[in-house]
Structure 1
Amino acid sequence: MIVLIYILAAIFAPAIAPHGIDESQLSQRLAAPAGFGGDGYILGGDPVGRDLLSRIIYGARVSIAIGVLTTLFSAVVGVLLGAVAAYYRGPLDAVVSRIADFLLAFPMLIFAIGVMTILGPGFWIIILALTFKSWVEFFRLVRGEMLAEKTKEYVEAARALGQPGWAILLRETLPNVMNPVIVVGTLRMGTFIIAEASLSFLGLGIQPPTPAWGSMVAEGRDYMLDAWWVATFPGLAILILVLSINLLGEGLRDILDPRLKAQ
């Protein structure tokens, strides 16, 4: 329900947000939230007098979009490469596996910082940088599952019936390995949201005036003693969303994993 609320808030942000993302009032500069001495904005004002609540709502668009798109692109690349490499083996499997091992040596955030330092900040650059590193996990997962599936009786039966390799791969084996992919994708989505917030916090992610939770936290770190709400509320937005996504992923794992069902 919490994840759904975030998604709906992101979709209908123009209708929900009380103010525009660049609408500022100097009288509300660093204004306290309602209930903490403030009489204007619900969650207070930022250093230039903009409504913090409105910018947090619009910031959900950036975080959710990057989390979903990065997960989708990483899963598509990793699943296809892992399935083909495991089913056909040979040089393709060896080359792609060595590339995957090489990319695993780099921490995600360090790798993304390096890519964005070269290519520059931007929405699609963030997705490219995270996808280029994150397809490896889906590749290794699907490759391992596919190696086990290709030896089972239903695959041998499909071969005996004369089905071509691509048909067996797409129709028979691939659907049977998608449950763990869904679980891993859900869990990794929270990681991608944190990675985007970290890059924006460092100034390498989404650039102003587009609201992003990471850059909002960075704006408020200089005012923690006098205006704690500027950094605290965007940070809480990240915390609640990522925690909810992780709990959702664990719930999907319990539902989709037949071994856990038996337990």
Structure 2
Amino acid sequence: MAITFLQISDLGPSTTLLTSTNKLLFFPLLSTLILRTCRGIDILPFLDNFTPPSLTSLSLDFGCLSGLNYQAIENLALRSSCSLTSLTLRGMAKQDAVKCFELPCLRSIERLNLNMVHVNNGLVALLVYPDASSTLHDRRGIFPWHKKLSLEWCMAEDGATSRVVASRWRDKSAPSDKSGSVPASLEELEVVFRQDPCTGATCHDVDMAALTSFAKRGLALTYQLASSTPRYQQHPADFCRNCCYHSRYPDLGPCYHPRLPYLDF
């Protein structure tokens, strides 16, 4: 039976493939690969053991480690001639994410899921797609085919997330772009706004007002408002009706407070 989905968890230094350099595994139909570790090791060399020509989805959980061999992702794509369209990064340090985002093999990414400590201003700013009138016009935009974004630990300042959407938004009635300077339009956004542990800031009025506008124009939006400190309390059943953002933006759609046990209310 051909393997199309592979998840390997709890990788450690003694993992056989991780310590071997002479094994190359060919998975012709593997489309999804998930690697996870909680032992403080760089799991990217593990990719050197794989040749998956059909790989489209890659998920990497680094266990809050920095100084990674991110070039292993590019080597995997070159060796396999695969086209990645979905990328999930968990626990990767910001400095590594910056280098990772610029890998040529990731320009085909359509779905991006970031869960890091912390998704801050600098990281979110990288996702803003520059245009000719932007102060960012001196750098090439990353993820030009990006359509679905998930930010699971967002501590960026108010307005930063909506700037990403604005830079990647195109109304359906807009004429098609043939120059390549305009990215694909963002279709879905999932974001968890976390409280800044230093400033205690939780206000995202600018973001919510802008995202509400985009939601009315077709953006599929899911949001959560959470503190950074677990409280482990149950929420009242009518919490969403009393949510400060719902009272201000009634057309925003459902939020998902009951799914998180550590939200402010």
Q: Which has the higher strand share?
A: 2
Q: Which has the higher contact order (CA 8 A, sep 6+)?
A: 1
Alignment TM-score, normalising by the size of structure 2:
0.23
Q: Which has the higher helix share?
A: 1
Alignment TM-score, normalising by the size of structure 1:
0.23
